[in-house]
């Protein structure tokens, strides 16, 4: 099985077990805290990733970590499942896949927004409302700064990009003048 399909399957399974968005955010934070613990404790990470450590010992280590970190019950159950199936090496990828699995499961469109300057909260909200109206679905906006745009915005929706920037307009003008179209 390809790693990406395995990771997506586990992420989707966790998303299906979650009741609501606050619980989802909590589990995401829990996984982030647990991954930080694994990064700081090489012996724990190796012990959980190897098949040489018994499932009972892995479960006990996870329960101790969960208690120390105050993890949600569903987070612990997910970690126990991942460890029992010897998939702990993929946990970081699974955690990174969670937002996409959540959005897909809840019909939310993810849109990347690049701008030269940080947008105000009002501008972000207005953009979100306008995009939700245009697409007739909820959207999740991910903002980043891109000084190369000069001015304006660039929106990315999967493999489709909409360029409303001065840099993009100048490129179009340059191509038109050169006859490239």
Task: Return the pLDDT at 181.
Answer: 55
Which among 168, 130, 135, 136 is positioned nearest to 152, based on CA atoms? 168
Q: How far apart are CA 69 and CA 137, in angstroms?
A: 36
Instruction: Using the predicted structure, report yes or no on whether residue 55 has a pLDDT greater than 60.
Output: yes
d(CA 57, CA 41): 16
**Confidence class for position 157, pLDDT limits 50, 70, 90:** confident
Report the mean per-residue pLDDT for the chain.
Answer: 91
- Residues 80 and 134 grouped into a single domain: no
Is the pTM above the cut of 0.85? no
pLDDT of residue 180: 63
Q: Within this chain, do residues 14 and 85 fall inside the same structural domain, yes or no?
A: yes
Residue-level pLDDT at 120 = 93
User: Residues 82, 10: one domain?
Assistant: yes
What is the pLDDT at residue 175?
83
Alpha carbons 11 and 123: distance in angstroms, whole number: 32
Residues 10 and 87 grouped into a single domain: yes
Q: Are residues 21 and 79 in the same domain?
A: yes
Check whether 15 has a pLDDT greater than 70. yes
pLDDT at residue 1 greater than cutoff 60? no
Q: How confident is the model at residue 29 (pLDDT cuts 50, 70, 90)?
A: very high
Does residue 84 surpass a pLDDT of 80?
A: yes
Question: Phi and psi for 137 in degrees, rounded to 5?
Answer: -160, 165
pLDDT of residue 43: 93
User: How many domains, the chain?
Assistant: 2
Q: What pLDDT shows up at residue 34? A: 96
Tokens of 66: 């969960």
């Amino acid at each position: 099985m390809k790693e990406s399909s395995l990771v997506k399957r586990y992420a989707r399974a966790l998303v299906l077990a979650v009741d609501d968005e606050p619980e989802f955010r909590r589990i995401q934070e829990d996984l982030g805290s647990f991954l930080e613990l694994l990064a700081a404790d090489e012996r724990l990470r190796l012990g959980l990733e190897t098949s040489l450590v018994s499932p009972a010992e892995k479960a006990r280590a996870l329960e101790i970590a969960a208690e120390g970190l105050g993890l949600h019950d569903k987070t612990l159950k997910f970690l126990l499942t991942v460890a029992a199936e010897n998939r702990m090496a993929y946990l970081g990828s699974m955690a990174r896949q969670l937002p996409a699995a959540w959005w897909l499961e809840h019909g939310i469109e993810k849109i990347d927004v690049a701008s030269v300057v940080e947008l105000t909260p009002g501008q972000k909200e207005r953009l979100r409302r306008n995009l939700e109206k245009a697409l007739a679905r909820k959207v999740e906006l991910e903002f980043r700064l891109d000084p190369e745009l000069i001015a304006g915005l660039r929106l990315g929706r999967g493999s489709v990009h909409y360029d409303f920037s001065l840099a993009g307009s100048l490129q179009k003008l340059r191509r038109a003048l050169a006859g490239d179209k």
